[in-house]
Structure 1
Amino acid sequence: MSNLTDSELGGMMQLVRGTQWYVGMFGDPYALLLRAQADDPYPHYELAREQGRLYQSPLGSWVCTGHALAAQVLADPRFDARTADGGTAAQHVLALDDSFLGLDRTAHDRLRERTATLLGPQAVERYRTLTERVGGALLDGLGAEFDLAADFATPLAVGVLAELLAVPTKDRARFAEHCPALGTALDAEVCPQQLAPARALITALRWLRGELAARPDTGLLDEVAAAGGDEAADDALAVAVLLAVTGIPATSSLVCNAALALLADPARCEEVRSDPGLLSKVIDETLRHDPPVHLRSLVAREDVRIDGQLIAAGSQLVVLLAAANRDPEVFCDPGRFDPHRAESAALLGGAHHELTAPLARLQAEVALRLLLDRLPRLRQDGPIVRRRRAPVSRAIARVPVTAA
């Protein structure tokens, strides 16, 4: 994509955007989701559910809404990020090879095995003190009124990762400047971005890979590569890029969505403040009720018959995670935020999110604890502004809060 001229890149994205917009005019819920113009996509998820737990959109994509079927698809090795020969589905917008989002299941299994002692659920506890330090310093520098996303949640994730990757002090401002562009990668795969953000994403990916490749023997890169093997250096680079591309936006969304859910219910907020043991349940319920990743795009590597439908090799199958996580056949009163619910766990966003999820959870837990302990009067102080053209991340751009 970096070799395309602005005219070629812009023209290609305009064509895809026009197709999605046209199909959405006739009421297809998946096309309406890809338009990503509504602040609340959940009515579109319900419309998609009415089409069946697996249906084919006029865009050509197969769309899965049911929780049990979604779990089956996500675990099925016949569905992966790319076709057997490395290709993408016809509906795929940008092939962002520099992002490592196209790695197959085998590669992700290797990355998780290689990083189990660094980024596994128990291993990330080693970063708790670091996260507390970064988060505490951010709060020290904020006044009574600030933006929960732009001033706290995102800088927290950026700051922690900069420390883990040992980004030189002189480069940290530029690293932070590129991170918002990197956070659009998941959305850009399925929803055409405007030309300037798309070009910024391509530039940010090139810069990040260049910076990391230039110093492979520092920070987490060195620790991952220390496991040895022929692919050690490439795997270390992949882990670092995925932490930036998927881990930072996921952490920011998880912090904001969890905090906003608590602030909307003062009684619940006070309950969690007095019982820190509930924080883990709050995060679990946030991952179900309003997850950082709303859909997962997969490709059939061969002809697959599932749920009575034949999915031809090379076809795109999109799992609507946010719809599946509110499946009324699984979750009682699914639209209600309830950390005490006992139903099945939420479905997450696929292989690369399994890699970055433990660190995102840890940072969200620390962030919520800091906000609850240090800002007892914290409340939302204005409307939430979400980034447009973000059907995967539903990313929060701004949300003003006040601690006065």
Structure 2
Amino acid sequence: MKNLTDSELGGMMQLVRGTQWYVGMFGDPYALVLRAQTDDPHPLYEQARAQGPLHQNALGSWVCTGYELAAQILADPRFDTRTADGGTAAQHVLALDDAFLGLDRTAHDRLRERTAPLLGAEAIERHRAVAERVAGDLLDGLGDGFDLAADFATPLAVGVLAELLAVPAADRPGFAEHCTALGNALDAEVCPQQLVPARALITALERLRGQFAGRPDGGLLGEVAATGGDLAAEDALATAMLLAATGVQTTSSLVCNAALALLADPARRDAVRAEPGLLPRVIDETLRSDPPVHLCALVAREDVEIAGQHLAAGSQLVVLLAAANRDPEVFADPERFDPHRTEAAPLHGGAHHELVAPLAKLQAEVALRLLLDRLPGLRQDGPIVRRRRAPVSRAIARVPVTAA
């Protein structure tokens, strides 16, 4: 992609955007999801659900909306991010290989096993002190009014990652700029971005890859590389790139969405402040009701018979995670935010999110605890502004809050 001229890149994205737009004109729910023109896509998810738990849309993609089937597909090795011959999954607008988003299950399993002692759920507590320090420093520098996303959640995710990757102080402004540019990485794979942010994304990936490859001994990079093996250095680079390309936005969205869920209900906020042990439940319910990743694109590696449908090898399959997590056959009153739910665990956004999820959840817990303790009167102070063309992340660009 980086070798394409602006004219070539822009023309390619306009062609895909035009196709999505045209199909959406006839009311296709998934095409309208990809248009990303609405702040609330859940009515579109319900329209897709009405067409069956697994159906083929006018763009040729198979669309899954049911929880049980989605869980089955996500665990099925016949579906992967790449075809058997190494082709990419969805007909990606931007194939971001520099971000390692297209790693197949085998590579992800190896990476997850290698990083488990560093980033796995059982090891993640080692990073709590870093998250607390970064979050505390950020709050120290904020006044009564600030932007929850731009001034706190995103800088928290960037700051923690910079610490863990041992990014030199002189390089941190550029690192933060590149991580911010990567915020639309997951969206850009399926939804054409405007030319300037698309080019910024490609450039950021190239520069971060060069930065990480140039110092393989720093922080987590060095620890992953030290695990040994033929692919240790490559896995260290993949870990850093995945954390930057998906971990920052995932963390920022999770912090914002969970905080807003608490601010929307003062009684719930006060209950959680009085019983901080509820925070993990709040985070899990946020992952169900308003997840950081709304859909996951896969491909059939072979001919598959599933849910009464035949999917030929190479068929494109999209799991609408946000729809599955509100499946009324699994979740009672699925539109209601309820941290005390005892139903099934929320589905997450595919293999690479298993790598970033424990760190994102840790940072969200730390952030919420500090916000509740230090800013008990915090409230939303203006409308939420979401980033344009973000059907995967529904990322919040701005959300003013005040503690006054």
TM-score bracket, normalised by the shorter chain, equals over 0.9
Q: Write the distance in 2 (CA, Å) between the matches of 1:356 and 1:177.
A: 20
Q: Residues 353-368 of structure 1: matches in 2 within 5 Å?
A: 353-368=353-368
Quick one: which amino acid aligns to residue 300 of structure 1? A
Corresponding residue of 2:347: 347
Contact kept, 8 Å, 1:88 with 1:314, in 2: the verdict is no
Corresponding residue of 2:227: 227
Instruction: Confirm whether residue 185 of structure 1 aligns to residue 191 of structure 2.
Output: no
Quick one: which amino acid aligns to residue 282 of structure 1? V
Contact kept, 8 Å, 1:146 with 1:400, in 2: the verdict is yes
Corresponding residue of 2:160: 160
Q: Write the distance in 2 (CA, Å) between the matches of 1:90 and 1:74.
A: 15
SS state at 1:146 partner = strand
Corresponding residue of 2:67: 67
Instruction: Confirm whether residue 212 of structure 1 aligns to residue 231 of structure 2.
Output: no
Corresponding residue of 1:39: 39
Q: Write the distance in 2 (CA, Å) between the matches of 1:153 and 1:89.
A: 31
Deviations along 1:69-103, one digit per CA (max 9) or x if unpaired, are 00000000011111111112563211111010000
Q: Write the distance in 2 (CA, Å) between the matches of 1:84 and 1:6.
A: 32
Q: Write the distance in 2 (CA, Å) between the matches of 1:285 and 1:231.
A: 37
Q: Write the distance in 2 (CA, Å) between the matches of 1:171 and 1:218.
A: 13
Corresponding residue of 1:246: 246
Structure 1: unaligned runs, 5 residues or longer = none
Quick one: which amino acid aligns to residue 2 of structure 2? S
Corresponding residue of 2:98: 98
Quick one: which amino acid aligns to residue 197 of structure 1? P
Q: Write the distance in 2 (CA, Å) between the matches of 1:135 and 1:92.
A: 35
Contact kept, 8 Å, 1:183 with 1:245, in 2: the verdict is yes
SS state at 2:299 partner = strand
Contact kept, 8 Å, 1:61 with 1:91, in 2: the verdict is no
Corresponding residue of 2:114: 114
Q: Write the distance in 2 (CA, Å) between the matches of 1:37 and 1:186.
A: 17
Q: Write the distance in 2 (CA, Å) between the matches of 1:59 and 1:160.
A: 40
| TM-score, length-scaled by structure 2 | 0.99
SS state at 1:91 partner = coil
- Residue 49 of structure 1 and its aligned partner are, at CA, apart by 0.4
Instruction: Confirm whether residue 314 of structure 1 aligns to residue 310 of structure 2.
Output: no
- Residue 381 of structure 1 and its aligned partner are, at CA, apart by 0.2
Quick one: which amino acid aligns to residue 50 of structure 2? E
SS state at 2:234 partner = helix
Quick one: which amino acid aligns to residue 353 of structure 2? H
Q: Runs in 1 of length 4+ with deviation above 3 angstroms?
A: none
Corresponding residue of 1:290: 290
Quick one: which amino acid aligns to residue 234 of structure 2? D
- Residue 200 of structure 1 and its aligned partner are, at CA, apart by 0.4
Deviations along 1:184-220, one digit per CA (max 9) or x if unpaired, are 1110111011111110000000000000000001111
Percentage of matched positions with identical amino acids: 82
Q: Write the distance in 1 (CA, Å) between the matches of 2:88 and 2:366.
A: 38
Contact kept, 8 Å, 1:60 with 1:91, in 2: the verdict is no
Quick one: which amino acid aligns to residue 396 of structure 1? I
Q: Write the distance in 2 (CA, Å) between the matches of 1:110 and 1:176.
A: 28
- Residue 388 of structure 1 and its aligned partner are, at CA, apart by 1.1
Contact kept, 8 Å, 1:119 with 1:355, in 2: the verdict is yes
Contact kept, 8 Å, 1:183 with 1:248, in 2: the verdict is yes
CA RMSD of aligned residues (A): 0.7
Quick one: which amino acid aligns to residue 170 of structure 1? A
Q: Write the distance in 1 (CA, Å) between the matches of 2:376 and 2:283.
A: 19
Contact kept, 8 Å, 2:89 with 2:297, in 1: the verdict is no
Quick one: which amino acid aligns to residue 191 of structure 1? C
Contact kept, 8 Å, 2:80 with 2:105, in 1: the verdict is yes
Quick one: which amino acid aligns to residue 19 of structure 1? T
Corresponding residue of 1:399: 399
| TM-score, length-scaled by structure 1 | 0.99
SS state at 1:273 partner = helix
Q: Write the distance in 2 (CA, Å) between the matches of 1:218 and 1:167.
A: 7
Corresponding residue of 2:57: 57
Q: Write the distance in 2 (CA, Å) between the matches of 1:188 and 1:84.
A: 24
SS state at 2:258 partner = helix
Q: Write the distance in 2 (CA, Å) between the matches of 1:388 and 1:308.
A: 37
Corresponding residue of 1:23: 23
Q: Residues 164-179 of structure 1: matches in 2 within 5 Å?
A: 164-179=164-179
CA distance 1:49–1:386, shift in 2 (3 Å): same
Contact kept, 8 Å, 1:70 with 1:324, in 2: the verdict is yes
The total of aligned residue pairs comes to 404
Q: Write the distance in 1 (CA, Å) between the matches of 2:65 and 2:214.
A: 43
Q: Write the distance in 2 (CA, Å) between the matches of 1:12 and 1:99.
A: 20
Q: Write the distance in 1 (CA, Å) between the matches of 2:90 and 2:271.
A: 49
SS state at 1:337 partner = coil
Corresponding residue of 1:260: 260
SS state at 2:336 partner = coil
